[in-house]
Amino acid sequence: MRIPETTYEALVRAMEQFDYGMRNTREWRDWEDNKAHKYAVKYREQRYPVKRIISLATGVSYRSFGGGAQANSYVRKRDLQVVRLRQENAGG
């Protein structure tokens, strides 16, 4: 699915919404340690789950679009930084 258009400002509001209502919930408290999350949006020294932020900003389910390259390029095109959460093991 193609992700609906949104703005930088809407993505920032989504990150604020995540901080206010989700970051400290049981579901999201330790999301950065969940190996299913490989990348994060970095904004003001905080990290955010890429697909969840897009979902909050656009109103579409995070299950309806791809993560990785699709989601990362979507936020980068809106002038946000994407960072890798952990280094890949060279040995497999």
Name the residue ranges covered by the structural domains of the chain: 8-84
Environment class of 52 (CB within 10 Å of its CB; exposed 0-12, middle 13-18, buried 19+): buried
What pLDDT is stored for residue 1 in this prediction? Answer: 76
| pLDDT tens by residue, 12-40 | 999 999 999 999 999 999 999 999 999 99
Reported pTM: 0.91
What pLDDT is stored for residue 7 in this prediction? Answer: 97
- How far is it, in rounded angstroms, from Cα 49 to Cα 21? 14
| Residues contacting 88, CB < 8 A, separation 6+ | none
47 bridge partner residues? 42
Picking from 54, 53, 65, 44, the residue whose alpha carbon sits closest to that of residue 15 is 53
Radius of gyration of the chain (CA): 13
